[in-house]
Amino acid sequence: MTLATATKSGKPSARMVLLKGWDERGFVFYTNYKSRKGRELAQNPHAALVLFWQPLERQIRITGRVKKVSAEESDAYFHGRPLGSRFSAAVSKQSSVIASREVLLEKLKKLEEKYPDGNPPRPIYWGGFRVDPSEIEFWQGGQFRLHDRLRYRRRRDGGWNVDRLSP
């Protein structure tokens, strides 16, 4: 999915991330909290998500407030990841400048030597975020651009108002 964040002053940025789960509490993804997206969400805890299936001509847009998931949720997901992904999360200072790929590979080698059992702990700077949706729009492409659009907006009581939008 595309994740869009913005700085406190409103400068936007967007990137692709993996949607790792969803339930009645929201939509979850995982990252390095010190990455650009992590820093932006710390400053401005609002985000937009876009999921797009071009062959089906379908799209879902989601906006809402973002909060970190619990440490227990982050631990559970981290320890279920492939070993290489766990080591990668531990050695990468995501979004920071590095001198070379070799520097990264050397850090990886040292970490693998430190944890020969293949079980590195989850770094404290790595974990999940949950987008609690305030608005969800479903888009279905239509012939001659007569698309179907349904927008759900959360009410204060937790229910949803549904509007049909013009294409």
The residues annotated as belonging to the active site are 145
* Token pair 């991330």 in the structure block, residue: 17
Amino acid at 72: E
CA distance to 48, 87, 138, 158, 162, per residue, from 165 (Å): 19, 46, 10, 22, 10
Whether the Cβ atoms of residue 151 and residue 163 lie closer than 8 Å to each other: yes
CA-wise closest residue to 111 among 84, 135, 78 = 84
> With 0-12 CB in 10 A as exposed, 13-18 as middle and 19+ as buried, what is 24?
exposed
Following CA atoms 18, 97, 104, 43 in sequence, which dihedral angle do they give, to the nearest 10 degrees? -40
Strands 160-165 and 12-16: unpaired
